Amino acid sequence: MKKTLLASAVSAFVLLGCTEKNQSPEAGLSDAKPEIQEIESATAAEVNPLLTEWKTDFGVPPFNLIQDSHYEPAFEAAFEAHKAEIAEILADTAEPTFANTIEALERSGSSLTRVSNVFYAVNGAHSNDVIRDVAKRIAPKMSAHLSDITLNEALFKRVNAVYQQSKDLGLNAEQTRLLENTYKQFVRAGANLSETDKQRVREIDSRLSELSQQFGQNVLKETNEFIVIVDKLEDIEDLPQSLINAAADLAAKNDAEGKWAFNLARPSINPVLQYSSNRELRKKLFEGYAMRGNNGNAEDNKAIASEMAALRVERANIMGHDNHASFVLERNVAENPENVMGLLDKIWPAALQKAELEAADLQAALKADTGETDLQGWDWRYYTEKVRKAKYDLDENELRPYFEVNIVRDGVFDTANKLFGLTFTERNDLPKWHESQQVFEVKEANGDHIGIVYFDYFARDSKRGGAWMNHLRKQSNLDGYVHPIVTNNFNYPPASEGSPSLLSLSEAETFFHEFGHALHGLLSDVTYESLSGTSTPRDFVEFPSQVFENWMTKPEVLKGFAKHYETGEPIPDALIEKINKASQFNQGFATVEYLGAALLDMSWHTLESTDKPDALALEEAAMARIGMIDEIIPRYRSTYFNHIFAGGYSSGYYSYIWSEIMDADAFAAFEETSLFDQETAQKYREHILSKGGTKPGMDLYIDFRGRKPEIKPLLVKRGLE
């Protein structure tokens, strides 16, 4: 029912998370959630650690005790507990008040939130067939459970009664926001609908939830199962030795001892696309990647995407909207599809023009190299590296030795320390879900406990692709201070024999990005869990993460942390200069690839017919409208666009650039003063990081910056103006 719950349960795998401060560390969960022990029967509590009080340090989940078989019964018990809490609210004979209805709802479902947080964190980062099956079975139950609450008429009557007198209740800003959110959540779930419409919305939600699970699983399967075997070393010998070794290991694992294998995991496909002169190999992997979910087999996602789109239109219509995007955007900073399309279309021509110039450079490089004149998608990254080297002499492999994963982590910590005074103490005595994880306690400059952050660095089969943050526990202060526990997850190359995990420049930037989300969760200082940390609209939530990336490539920051993993030498000035010169390089491609996906998302979700669209025709028309060039495909094609079909980002993929406008403009506030200006950092922490979703995003921004964000710093930063 709570926003936290919906966020963690329904779109659990999306990128964010959160929690935070004061009070003794151990107090956290037990203080705030005394009901957990009471809810469960003695027998269940004895056997299932998910249903008992966690007597771990800081109340972190006892991963060492949790087994796959515990999740499903824990979900079942948590559903029941939540139902009982709702029944108690309804049984109250007193007139509905903010305390006995809105705050009571906020308190309810804590057991379900707790189980969901752990389950979806593990399902994303370290899953297996058993866990995936549980996810599949729980998804429709979760959806039905949440619908039962938001479509409960008696409950809505109470919420509405409080809402109607909101002006006279003397609520503070955060309470007002909680009341509005709660009310809107009911209305948006269909509380004002007829019984027939309610029933239909319930069916649609449940079906969408199933389809979305299936979509994501198909993408994962298609990603994991695709493999290319190379017979001769001479076909790959221009690749870095570490990758050749990894390819030999992968081949051995796939019954091809003595050969080399490549797959679609980023540490395998990316270096091939960037560094292999073997055009055929690049083509095979590129096409394997681009065709995921579009192979006419059991994992084909075209029909799933079409059905989801049609169902979303139907639901939007029932809710009084012309299309799904209008329904979704109503509660975002952007407000409506017209504002989004207007923004994307404003950036598109400059981006396309830049990409066309880049394509001409790459075509020339291809011709000089092979005599060919048909630059293709699988050539782009390879010749980009060549042109980058020729123009900027920046070889990604030259940089990697300065970005060993622990060294980057220390750079991240140091930046957070200089900005906010935070300190980090490793706590590897705490339970983890994978032995390679690192765990840190985060403290204020004065030593006060803030929270816990988990890092899970390395790519493996059990982890989904990409990088993301989530929360194991959000910060709140309703019944005592609850400190945050957050996680950052990556797909970095694992250390292999003789070589530690060395990151590329963009992988290192990803660390700063995800830690920006972590800070949003860690430095949250609010009353209500459902408004805590990253519980903000989609088009605001990437703002704190993207802001934090800005520090990494500043010369004084790089100089401070980027030290050669063998010699300890700081990164040379010449390399820093190259990095900064190269920062606008290939931005035409990056922007076009991104905007292509953002516009594709909008095409799917501004449909106004409830007929199932033809997935490929829709994509083709969307790309034709904007004049997408053949050499570039959208960052995600429809059949593997997890963000919009298996995550929570439908009509929301635009939010990265929306957030980036805010991020570029916000970072300019530091550039106007100084990189670690304490007054600006303090204002940023107070008005943005600590506030979560307690006010509309634009209001928070104006509190920080004194005005609305301007678009110019973004265009300048990307070299588009």
Residues 251-270 that bind Zn ion (CB under 5 A): none
Residue 304 CA to its chain's centroid (Å) = 22
| Residue closer to Zn ion (CB basis): 546 or 639 | 546
Q: For 515-539, what is the HEC assignment?
A: HHHHHHHHCCCCCCHHHCCCCCCHH
Minimum gap (Å) between residue 194 Cβ and Zn ion: 39
Minimum gap (Å) between residue 148 Cβ and Zn ion: 32
Catalytic pick from 85, 222, 514, 631?
514
| Residue closer to Zn ion (CB basis): 218 or 470 | 470
Q: Which stretch binds Zn ion (CB under 5 A): 7-15, 45-53, 412-420, 497-505?
A: 7-15
Contact flag: residue 15 with Zn ion (CB under 5 A): yes
Q: Which of 185, 202, 187 is nearest to 530 (CA)?
A: 185
Q: For 147-212, what is the HEC assignment?
A: HHHHCCHHHHHHHHHHHHCHHHCCCCHHHHHHHHHHHHHHHHCCCCCCHHHHHHHHHHHHHHHHHH
Q: How many chain residues bind Zn ion (CB under 5 A)?
A: 3
| Residue 514 known to be catalytic | yes
Contact flag: residue 246 with Zn ion (CB under 5 A): no
Cα gap 234→237, rounded to integer Å: 5
| Residue closer to Zn ion (CB basis): 379 or 542 | 542
| Residue closer to Zn ion (CB basis): 545 or 553 | 545
Q: Which stretch binds Zn ion (CB under 5 A): 13-21, 194-202, 248-256, 619-627?
A: 13-21
Residues 204-223 that bind Zn ion (CB under 5 A): none
| Residue closer to Zn ion (CB basis): 205 or 663 | 663
Minimum gap (Å) between residue 607 Cβ and Zn ion: 27
Q: Which stretch binds Zn ion (CB under 5 A): 11-19, 90-98, 576-584, 666-674?
A: 11-19
| Residue closer to Zn ion (CB basis): 214 or 545 | 545
Cα gap 661→674, rounded to integer Å: 20
| Residue closer to Zn ion (CB basis): 103 or 660 | 660
Minimum gap (Å) between residue 519 Cβ and Zn ion: 12
Q: For 432-479, what is the HEC assignment?
A: CCCCCCEEEEEECCCCCEEEEEEEEEECCCCCCCCCEEEEEECCECCC
Minimum gap (Å) between residue 546 Cβ and Zn ion: 7
How many Cα atoms sit within 13 Å of 409 on the Cβ side? 23
Radius of gyration of the chain (CA): 25
Longest Cα–Cα distance in the chain? 83
Minimum gap (Å) between residue 677 Cβ and Zn ion: 25
Q: Which of 452, 450, 485 is nearest to 470 (CA)?
A: 485
Minimum gap (Å) between residue 461 Cβ and Zn ion: 23
Residues 276-335 that bind Zn ion (CB under 5 A): none
Minimum gap (Å) between residue 317 Cβ and Zn ion: 32
Minimum gap (Å) between residue 545 Cβ and Zn ion: 4
Contact flag: residue 60 with Zn ion (CB under 5 A): no
List the Cα angle 493/497/501 in 5-degree steps: 30
The beta strands (E) that lie in 474-622 are given as 485-492
Residues 491-550 that bind Zn ion (CB under 5 A): 542, 545
Q: Which stretch binds Zn ion (CB under 5 A): 15-23, 120-128, 527-535, 677-685?
A: 15-23
Q: Which stretch binds Zn ion (CB under 5 A): 9-17, 258-266, 312-320, 644-652?
A: 9-17
φ and ψ of 228, to 5 deg? -120, 125
Three-state DSSP class for residue 596: helix
Site string for Zn ion, 178-197 (x = CB under 5 A): --------------------
| Residue closer to Zn ion (CB basis): 15 or 66 | 15
The b-or-e profile of 404-429 (16+ CB within 10 A means b, else e) is: bbebbbbbbbbbbebbbebbbeebee
| Residue closer to Zn ion (CB basis): 15 or 319 | 15
Q: Which stretch binds Zn ion (CB under 5 A): 12-20, 251-259, 451-459, 481-489?
A: 12-20
Q: For 648-714, what is the HEC assignment?
A: CCCCCCCHHHHHHHHHHHHHHHHHHCCCCCHHHHHHHHHHHHCCCCCCCHHHHHHHHHCCCCCCHHH
Cα gap 641→649, rounded to integer Å: 10
List the Cα angle 71/265/622 in 5-degree steps: 95
φ and ψ of 600, to 5 deg? -65, -45
Which residues belong to the active site?
A: 514
- Contact set with Zn ion (CB under 5 A): 15, 542, 545
